[in-house]
Structure 1
Amino acid sequence: MSTTEIQDGNALPTVETARKLGVLPEEFDKIKDILGRTPNFTELSIFSVMWSEHCSYKNSIVWLKKLPKESDRMLAKAGEENAGLVDIGDGLACSFKIESHNHPSALEPYQGAATGVGGINRDIFTMGARPIAQLNSLRFGNPELAKTKWLVKGVVKGIGDYGNAFGIPTVGGELFFDESYNTNPLVNAFSAGIVEIGKVAKATSYGVGNPVFIVGSATGKDGIHGATFASEDITDKSNEKLPAVQVGDPFMEKLLLEATLEIIATGHVIGIQDMGAAGIICSTSEMSAKDAHGMIIDLDKVPTRQANMHGWEILLSESQERMLVVVEKGKEGIIQEIFDKWDLHCAQIGEVTDSKRLHFYQHGNLIADVPAHDLVLGGGAPQYHREYREPAYFQEFKKFEISEIKDVDTEEIKKVATHLLSHPNICSRQWVSQQYDSMVGTATRTTNSPSDAAVVRIRDIKRPDYEKSIAMTVDCNARYVNADPFVGTQIAVSEAARNLVCSGAEPLAVTNNLNFGNPYVPEVYWQFVEAVKGMSVACLKFSTPVTGGNVSFYNQSSDDGPVFPTPTIGMIGLVEKPEHQTSLDFKNDGDLIYLIGAPKNDIASSEYLYSFRGVKKSPAPAFDLDEEFSVQAAIRKLILSGLVVSVHDVSDGGLFVALAESAMPSTLGFEVSTDTNFRKDAYLFGESQSRVLVSIKPENQGEFQRMLGADLKAPHALIGKVTGADLMIDGQTIISTSEAQDLFGTSLGKLFA
């Protein structure tokens, strides 16, 4: 097709135009080669969003391909559908995914976070799965700053308002503060749902003549070039791009959920995809490329909220609560009737072709003609091998010597305990969780039974007595990853698996949200590469394949530099029976407390070292993947044996915090003795990995020790007992339980009051 046949109304764009749209000069040349001509502005805009980092993963895909993606439970190829999908038995599958909404949340925290929640849930129900729970992983800067307080309050309210109104419980998550996030917060949203195997919807398009529908909300000018905005650094001019932030409507999303599941159940849906990043152009191109087809789309038929929208605005808009649906020809009336019932837009805007191209018309004119395959990840989108280089700080961190830090005495133990229990990285997240509805749907098993992972019962109307539950968690200590990306990311995977195991679940699979700075900075890209390598090693060890996820680069600013590298791990597991679910809280005065796993003389990267001692430079905590695997195997067998009363992993804040978190829920105490083979600060506050705290009934001690010694051969030690009150170390009261509860429970709320 010649250039003259393309009607766009603008002069042909130049290299400078391309630069302003985030397209590199060499990419502009490649676009001209693909089209055989210079693109018009609409076509260049199409390529700019589809080849943005956010959509194409052009700077990350060469490494993401190396992640393990195979298991007997995998039902969808990683990254090829709207979300991951794993077999959980009995004809059911779990769909789950995590994605970021970092840049929008940095500018408009309420809508940025709210639309992140909406988008991730749409990814789940476009698979045909009904969402059952959501989590979030949040990172903010110095909590004393006014800007941080504004961001935290806005993000938390946005998540709560959207999730609560949508009717899906928010069952857990994580919250972390560090100055590296002062300008650029991280808002990662996770959702999981259940679908019957055989009733899964695909993100595809085929069948010449099959109609293409846009359904849900009308299209507006919000979110235009949102994908491009998410693919650049935060600067002092970023507020000028506020229109790139989407606006959400949870009540509309609830209607869309029900209508979507209903049309999928008809069996007449060929393919369906959420309109997230890059809107209509993303959905049409990815669905068409999947099965080597094309589409003819009439943009005049797209329901719009504003008059006289340009074609490129309609194509790139990221207005929320919209889907693209391809339907069997002749079944249009059935689909239309369902959406009419739910009072939602349902407009046929085009049809499927065999051209492998996308033809977009407006006002009777062809305004864009582009090949679908060349727009998408795995097709013609560029893939780069970026330069990477070990940063100078890495070797500096390794020079840390524990001998240069004085150990603690009894009085200082009390000071450290008070510091940690009230620290915003460790204290109770109750101020946050109270703003979320965790009990809607009445399937959450951990609201009043605290555990290391959230556990949600699977409701099956065909089998009212169905017993299985899904356990889920999101984990990443970014301080560890910054200290050593390879080891720190292994720890993130391991802690996610450990949290599931400690809750009584078998880990199944992973989704990830890889949050890093600018990939064109060699030191930042080195962090990314090392993190992916570490994730691969750990996921292989735990047989938890990566089902997909999200890469979020450009999380950095001119003032603060890059954020800590934050490869957030979302992991799901299966709890086969209710009696296998295990909580972290002590139950009975007099129960015995054991530490499973070997302590280390290590305080590296601990909250104690970082914030109490003020030492910022140290390596990742002591960690051995084989040791971690053995400890988790032992814990799983102990839980299945029924011998343990409570199980809690030792993580942020070390052993003392784990003990306190186990004691406080039932207003109990503990009396434990430290091991004289180790420094007291390392034993109590160090964060060396592969340790789990368990309590047992005294009458089960013999069988318990026999299993650990003879069958499991796991390192273990009896360290004390549960008491009626007070937290005691080596015969000294460190703090009363009531004081600990007050510090732990109210500190975050007071900080953000």
Structure 2
Amino acid sequence: MTNLAKVDSVDHAKSTPDVDQPFRELGLKDDEYARIREILGRRPTEAELAMYSVMWSEHCSYKSSKVHLKYFGETTTDEMREKMLAGIGENAGVVDIGDGWAVTFKLESHNHPSYVEPYQGAATGVGGIVRDIMAMGARPVAVADPLRFGPADAPDTKRVLPGVVAGVGGYGNCLGLPNIGGEVVFDECYAGNPLVNAMCVGVMKVEDLHLAHASGKGNKIILFGARTGLDGIGGVSVLASETFDGDESGGGRKKLPSVQVGDPFAEKVLIECCLELYHAGLVVGIQDLGGAGLSCATSELASAGDGGMRVDLDQVPLRATGMTPAEILSSESQERMCAVVDPSNVDAFMEVCRRWDVTATVIGEVTDGENLEIFWHDELVVDVPPRTVAHQGPVYERPVERPAEQDLIVADSANTLARPSTSDELRETILRMAASPNLCSRAWVTDQYDRYVRGNTVLAQPSDGGVLRIDEETGRGIAVATDCNARYTRLDPYAGAQLALAEAYRNVATTGATPVAVTNCLNFGSPEDPAVMWQFQQAVRGLADACQELGIPVTGGNVSFYNQTGAKPILPTPVVGVLGTIDDVTRRIPTGIGGEEGETLLLLGETHEELGGSEWARVTHDHLGGVPPKVDLAREKLLAEIVLAGSRDGMISAAHDLSEGGLAQALVETALIGECGARVVLPEGVDPFVWLFSESAGRILVAVPRTEELRFTDMCSARGLPWAKVGVADAGAQSLDIQDVADIPLAELREAWEGTLPKLFG
């Protein structure tokens, strides 16, 4: 039991104004601490200091990014807002997709914890994003995982990657959520700072939408789910460390890792419990407990409500003895939710929780005051205006400066690099590229994920995008894709962010779905570096401007700063997730050719000599320089419209977008996925190398039944979309035969494409 004489109450804080407090160790600047004292009119208590330190952190307050993120709102038109039921600022974005259905989706990061403890870092990243979706009133239906690591053959990558993949798969598989998309990228810049981004998608009826607010005097605050422990305490580690001296489960305590420990089975039960509570109409407002734990949940609920809140920490179910108020408020123990419930519904709420064997406790109530008041053993230990904690943290306009070296990297064109010219050299390059870590098969990773659990998955890896049926009666479905080429963003942050959006948009369209909304996870280096802030500013503006031109809104996302090793930041990595809708999943477009014998292969779009930031430049020359491919958003929109029209009219039997590796890689993948050979004839007079390895954007390789070739090409020509016939599918050939270049057996291609990751990671 805590010694009450040592409790740092509000009264004690008033009477001891000059007590030294470890605010710097908790990440607060001198002026930030001074502002807290100004807000409160006194020094903060230990519990208040803990709350402000975690809630004013970069992760929770967005204090360095707010001034730039507002541009998303400035560029969102009324037409774009029409389908949005919830947007930036909520736990997750929600869009109305018609017929009474709504979809909620979001991307978040769990980068640093996944480096420290790969399995739990990745697992709790999945758990956290799933609870964000639950908090909107939706049933989570799928996850996706954009991952980035250091060099594939580096010793530390062999430590981090298997644990991360196991964590993503272990948590998602136990929840029964199919993993339908994502990426695995290797680059030197992520050595020591992997990126583990997690995406979740949920579905609900429009009327089931729930938001995080604590309104209604007398309404009860109920904490339910797992008990609160010492794991996951980061922001108050200095305050907590003084009391760690034994075993958490006994009379003493030990210092536990700052990385949270997840229990997917507890979360699965929590999902079902929440859905029953929603269905019974027992919830006024709800908030998940993720980053900053109870500090976040209580302050955000109170801030979004119409009154104050009283919380009694004595009522919080604990799994450790002797926890201090600061530790209880800052613990990020997983699988917890906080609900606002009308007093008349408390008994029914508790009965639902008992039925699911979920611990639930009334810890407070909504008041008619203005402050968030938190008590510990009848002592008032927190008395703060909730908005000052949750929404009125520091806002910094960090210096922004285009780095001088940017001109040097742009001037270092990839077009001057030595390139293959003979047939043998081109053949060897195709195989070398197919076997390279960033282009090879991801089956070693994705086979550890359950992609088809629940029976509604229509497309998943290795397809361009994931497609999921959400309505068995009508066949209505959704599609998702995540993308980012950080090499492009390094060369031009504005264009690179637009290229990330364009690729995700194109990948969704390639499945036969209509892109409707965007989420993002913006991974950058230190915001205190003016060059990094220039990259960030440019990427935000590029993404926002592109969304406006395409007519699809950014519904929410995440910013992750301080991704760097020492003073060296990662390549700017704005990961973009696009959500699409499809009215009938039976007309989805597969990726592999060979659905019909003799299909015609058509390359839609234009090919130019664009090699800056390309995989060819990386694999063969370890080169990064020049300018990225040009992005033409009007062309991307037209391309998507034509593919969708072709899908609806039965004119397309397979499709695969062109991105990293260019046409050569698209041909390799579509042939191997479809287990069908192809005979390829490049247009007369073109440079085979450029056509095979250029990464020009706005291109899709489609397979068209012979009977539909004329109708489809006439449609393309009529709408002004360039196209070229590049070959035919040939199941009998069992090779990829590129005339005058190479005739490579599928078995040899498969050995190259599928052998890399198993050799590296066993």
- TM-score class, shorter-chain normalisation, is over 0.9
Offset, 1:9 = 12
Matched with 1:237 is none
Q: Tell me whether 1:662 sits opposite 2:675 in the alignment.
A: no
Contact 1:69 1:78 in 2 (8 A): no
Shift in CA distance, 274/442, structure 1 to aligned 2, threshold 3 Å: same
Q: Tell me whether 1:346 sits opposite 2:360 in the alignment.
A: yes
Contact 1:407 1:680 in 2 (8 A): no
Counterparts of residues 185-196 of structure 1 (less than 5 Å) = 185-196=194-205
Q: Tell me whether 1:586 sits opposite 2:593 in the alignment.
A: yes
Equivalent of residue 63 in structure 1, options 62, 68, 74: 68
Distance across 2 between alignment mates of 1:226 and 1:596: 52
Matched with 2:44 is 39
Matched with 2:56 is 51
Equivalent of residue 446 in structure 2, options 433, 436, 448: 433
What amino acid is the match of 1:428?
S
Equivalent of residue 198 in structure 1, options 207, 210, 230: 207
What amino acid is the match of 2:210?
A
Shift in CA distance, 341/13, structure 1 to aligned 2, threshold 3 Å: farther
What amino acid is the match of 1:58?
K
Spell out, residue by residue over 1:616-667, the C-alpha distance to the aligned partner (whole angstroms, 9 max, x if none): 2232123222333332232222222321111111011110100111111232
Secondary structure of 2:85's partner? coil
Distance across 1 between alignment mates of 2:216 and 2:320: 33
Spell out, residue by residue over 1:573-597, the C-alpha distance to the aligned partner (whole angstroms, 9 max, x if none): 0011134311111123422111110
Distance across 2 between alignment mates of 1:114 and 1:368: 32
Secondary structure of 1:445's partner? strand
Distance across 2 between alignment mates of 1:397 and 1:630: 32
Distance across 2 between alignment mates of 1:4 and 1:91: 50
Matched with 1:332 is 346
Offset, 1:733 = 2.9
Offset, 1:677 = 4.8
Contact 2:427 2:741 in 1 (8 A): no
Contact 1:296 1:353 in 2 (8 A): yes
Distance across 2 between alignment mates of 1:4 and 1:458: 51
Shift in CA distance, 402/552, structure 1 to aligned 2, threshold 3 Å: closer
Offset, 1:451 = 3.0
What amino acid is the match of 1:198?
E
Matched with 1:411 is 424
Secondary structure of 1:549's partner? strand
Spell out, residue by residue over 1:241-294, the C-alpha distance to the aligned partner (whole angstroms, 9 max, x if none): 972210000000011111111111221211111000000010111111112322
Secondary structure of 1:324's partner? strand
Equivalent of residue 727 in structure 2, options 694, 711, 720: 720
Shift in CA distance, 580/80, structure 1 to aligned 2, threshold 3 Å: same
Q: Tell me whether 1:396 sits opposite 2:403 in the alignment.
A: no
Equivalent of residue 302 in structure 1, options 298, 309, 316: 316
Secondary structure of 1:244's partner? coil
Q: Tell me whether 1:282 sits opposite 2:282 in the alignment.
A: no
Matched with 2:463 is 451
Deviates more, 1:484-493 or 1:741-750: 741-750
Secondary structure of 1:330's partner? helix
Contact 2:13 2:44 in 1 (8 A): no
Distance across 2 between alignment mates of 1:419 and 1:135: 28
Counterparts of residues 464-483 of structure 1 (less than 5 Å) = 464-483=472-491
Offset, 1:439 = 1.2
Shift in CA distance, 740/301, structure 1 to aligned 2, threshold 3 Å: same
Q: Flag structure 1 segments of 5+ consecutive residues without an equivalent.
A: 230-239
Matched with 2:162 is 153
Shift in CA distance, 286/308, structure 1 to aligned 2, threshold 3 Å: same
Distance across 2 between alignment mates of 1:361 and 1:455: 48
Contact 2:216 2:306 in 1 (8 A): no
Equivalent of residue 639 in structure 2, options 631, 643, 661: 631
Spell out, residue by residue over 1:689-720, the C-alpha distance to the aligned partner (whole angstroms, 9 max, x if none): 1111011122222212211112x210111111
Contact 1:417 1:734 in 2 (8 A): no
Offset, 1:100 = 0.6
Counterparts of residues 21-420 of structure 1 (less than 5 Å) = 21-67=26-72, 68-69=75-76, 71-225=80-234, 243-377=257-391, 380-409=392-421, 410-420=423-433
What amino acid is the match of 2:671?
A
Distance across 1 between alignment mates of 2:17 and 2:167: 41
Equivalent of residue 749 in structure 1, options 741, 754, 758: 758
Contact 1:299 1:311 in 2 (8 A): yes
Secondary structure of 1:385's partner? coil
What amino acid is the match of 1:433?
T
Matched with 1:500 is 508
Contact 1:603 1:681 in 2 (8 A): no
Distance across 2 between alignment mates of 1:318 and 1:44: 17
Percent of aligned positions that are identical: 41
What amino acid is the match of 2:273?
A
Q: Flag structure 2 segments of 5+ consecutive residues without an equivalent.
A: 1-7, 239-253
Secondary structure of 1:570's partner? strand
Equivalent of residue 536 in structure 1, options 541, 544, 552: 544
What amino acid is the match of 1:270?
V
Distance across 2 between alignment mates of 1:13 and 1:215: 38
Deviates more, 1:58-67 or 1:397-406: 397-406
Distance across 1 between alignment mates of 2:415 and 2:459: 41
Contact 2:314 2:377 in 1 (8 A): yes
Secondary structure of 2:96's partner? strand
Contact 1:7 1:365 in 2 (8 A): no
Contact 2:589 2:655 in 1 (8 A): yes
Contact 1:556 1:562 in 2 (8 A): yes
Counterparts of residues 508-587 of structure 1 (less than 5 Å) = 508-558=516-566, 561-587=568-594
Deviates more, 1:195-204 or 1:244-253: 195-204
Spell out, residue by residue over 1:392-444, the C-alpha distance to the aligned partner (whole angstroms, 9 max, x if none): 23211221345522332211111211111111111111001111111110000
Secondary structure of 2:24's partner? helix
- TM-score between both structures, scaled by the size of structure 2: 0.93
Distance across 1 between alignment mates of 2:131 and 2:76: 23
Deviates more, 1:143-152 or 1:5-14: 5-14
Matched with 1:232 is none
Shift in CA distance, 535/364, structure 1 to aligned 2, threshold 3 Å: same
Contact 1:224 1:318 in 2 (8 A): yes
Shift in CA distance, 118/8, structure 1 to aligned 2, threshold 3 Å: farther
